[in-house]
């Protein structure tokens, strides 16, 4: 009898807990928003601009083929004050677009500028078509409905990790590929014109 009386309070507590857990509603899962991930720092979010392809690496970098170098030398030779052979080693001043620069200054500035033209230089320059580049710090999601929403600070961190972890992102960051506009799934909730994101996944 004493044993039965001991188990009654335990059974009652178990039933109470079961009833409470049945009454407590489970939290609904966060909605998922799909669209195109863009650079939120872009100046022109018009549909015409956003739908343009990103600038290509070849189109943005100076051409370095022998034919292009020869053409550039021929063009320089036509400038007043240029060397007769079209080379950069002119003894006199060089004139381009109405600005005259003496040979000494030209040589000093050229030696200062050229070393910075590294492979990933393009990735650190903004793309006017709103593509994601190496200097992108804030992201926006252009949803399929046409609505544009910025990501919050946490969402920007998730997006940066997703971009750096993707093959296209790594190629862009090393200067081997142009900026890109990946499709993405963003989990979170909308607050005003922002998505308070809990995860960002590239598709």
pLDDT per residue as tens digits for the range 138-147: 999 999 999 9
Mean pLDDT score, 8-17: 60
Mean pLDDT score, 18-43: 78
pLDDT at 185 over 60: yes
200 Cβ contact list (under 8 Å, min separation 6):
37, 139, 151, 155, 158, 159, 161, 162, 184, 185, 186, 187
pLDDT per residue as tens digits for the range 48-106: 999 999 988 664 444 445 555 555 555 555 544 444 444 444 456 666 677 777 888 87
Q: Higher model confidence: residue 120 or residue 85? A: 120
| Amino acid 126: pLDDT | 85
């Amino acid at each position: 009898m004493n044993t039965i009386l001991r188990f009654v309070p335990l059974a009652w507590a178990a039933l109470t807990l079961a009833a409470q857990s049945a009454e407590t509603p489970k939290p609904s899962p966060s909605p998922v928003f799909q669209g195109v991930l863009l650079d939120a720092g872009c100046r022109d979010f018009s549909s015409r601009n956003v739908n343009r392809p990103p600038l290509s690496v070849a189109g943005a970098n100076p051409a370095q083929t022998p034919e292009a170098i020869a053409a550039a030398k021929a063009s320089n030779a036509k400038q007043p004050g240029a060397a007769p052979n079209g080379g950069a080693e002119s003894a006199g001043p060089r004139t381009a677009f109405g600005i005259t620069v003496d040979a000494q200054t030209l040589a000093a500035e050229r030696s200062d500028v050229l070393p910075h033209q590294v492979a990933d230089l393009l990735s650190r320059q903004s793309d006017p078509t709103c593509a994601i580049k190496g200097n992108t710090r804030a992201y926006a999601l252009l949803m399929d409905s046409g609505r544009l929403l910025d990501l919050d600070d946490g969402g920007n961190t998730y997006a940066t990790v997703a971009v750096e972890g993707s093959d296209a992102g790594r190629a862009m960051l090393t200067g081997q590929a142009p900026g890109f506009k990946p499709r993405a799934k963003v989990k979170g909730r909308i607050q005003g014109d922002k998505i308070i994101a809990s995860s960002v996944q590239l598709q």
